[in-house]
Amino acid sequence: MKSFFYDDYSDGAHNDVLKQLIDHNEEPQLGYGKDEYTEKAARRIAEVVGGNPSIYFISGGTQANLTILSHMLKSHEAVIASDCAHINNHEAGALEATGHKLVSVPTKAGKMNPQDVERIISQHDEYMVKPRVLEITQATEQGTIYSKAELKALIDVAKKHGMLVYLDGARLAHALTAQKADLTITDLPKLGVDAFYIGGTKNGALCGEAVVIVNPEIATDFTYSIRQHGGILAKGRLIGLQFMGLFENDLWLNLAKHANDMAAALSEGAVDSGLELTYPTDINQVFVTLTPAQVERLNVKYGFHVIEKIDDRRHVARLVCSWATTENQIRELIADMGSL
């Protein structure tokens, strides 16, 4: 079998997460997230974030994005987000299906800058949609992270225009544990983020994301929206238990850090082998620009996606590390990169 670098959701659950499911499997619990484990996990996450936010659990990332955003918006309001935002490209029109336009902002290595956001918001008049939510992905879809100052600058533009801020945190743990990170989770409410989610699926859980709503006006009636879009599990315990596991002994941070470390080693190895990084490696994803022949050769032993073809000579390979990636896998891949 190939060594897997496809993504960070190829493996099952981390053992400490699975153990929760096994240990509590035979206890009857109330449905729809009213079980004691969901409540315990919610309390724990609220403590970690600080500032008394409301916590909810949703089955997956697209569900989280579409439910939170549509709940934040009135029918004529729109989302401003990056041109490479997952919700813009890879969720099959999930946001628009709830009736809302997404206006995209150009990016460099996955990141928006405040000037572009300002310009695009300012171009809107009464004949257009009304920009209402700025969505920021942290870490970005291209494996980079915003510094605290960069986040602040983006959020300040939104706030200046009376907008709300939503942060897609599918890989938030990876952003917080990146080597160059200067951000902690308690910063998010302080910076003005109104709602965000902490990804579980890409960080050791079988499924599930933890939604954190900082702004109490958004929390009003939010359970109706979760239910309406089918994001709640009847056996809510499935997600509650997994987040209980993830938030014990900082497991969520440790798993992400491991994935980052593996990617950092791989990135360094790729550069040493003379390969070109497409984007800087901030978190657990390494983007390398390869020739089609190089892709073909690597593909024999390694599983990964080519996510863009810049031209006939330059194809962008995405190599993703996860909590389950081993040093051996990295060493072997680097060795094979050396002989490309």
Provide, rounded to whole angstroms, the least separation between the CB of residue 59 and a copy of itself: 5
User: Rule CB under 8 A: which of 2-31 touch a copy of itself?
Assistant: 4, 6-7, 9-13, 15, 18, 21-22, 24-31
| Closer by beta carbon to a copy of itself, 229 or else 257 | 229
| Closer by beta carbon to a copy of itself, 13 or else 117 | 13
Name residue, tokens 């499911």: 21
Provide, rounded to whole angstroms, the least separation between the CB of residue 235 and a copy of itself: 5
* Phi/psi-derived region of residue 249, left when phi > 0, alpha when psi is between -120 and 50, beta in every other case: left
Peptide bond into 94 cis (omega under 30): no
Q: Where are the alpha helices (DSSP H) in the chain?
A: 15-23, 36-49, 61-72, 86-89, 94-97, 114-122, 148-160, 172-176, 187-191, 216-219, 222-228, 237-246, 251-272, 292-299, 327-338
Provide the CB-side half-sphere exposure for 107 (13 A, CA): 24
Provide, rounded to whole angstroms, the least separation between the CB of residue 283 and a copy of itself: 17
User: Rule CB under 8 A: which of 246-305 touch a copy of itself?
Assistant: none
Residue 58 amino acid letter = I
Regarding 130 and contact with a copy of itself (CB under 8 A), the answer is yes
Q: If binding means CB under 8 A, how many residues of this protein chain bind a copy of itself? A: 74
Select from 113, 223, 273, 289 the one that contacts a copy of itself (CB under 8 A).
223
| Closer by beta carbon to a copy of itself, 151 or else 229 | 229
User: Rule CB under 8 A: which of 62-91 touch a copy of itself?
Assistant: 62-67, 70-71, 74-76, 78, 89-91
What does the chain come to in residues? 340
User: Rule CB under 8 A: which of 98-117 touch a copy of itself?
Assistant: 98-102
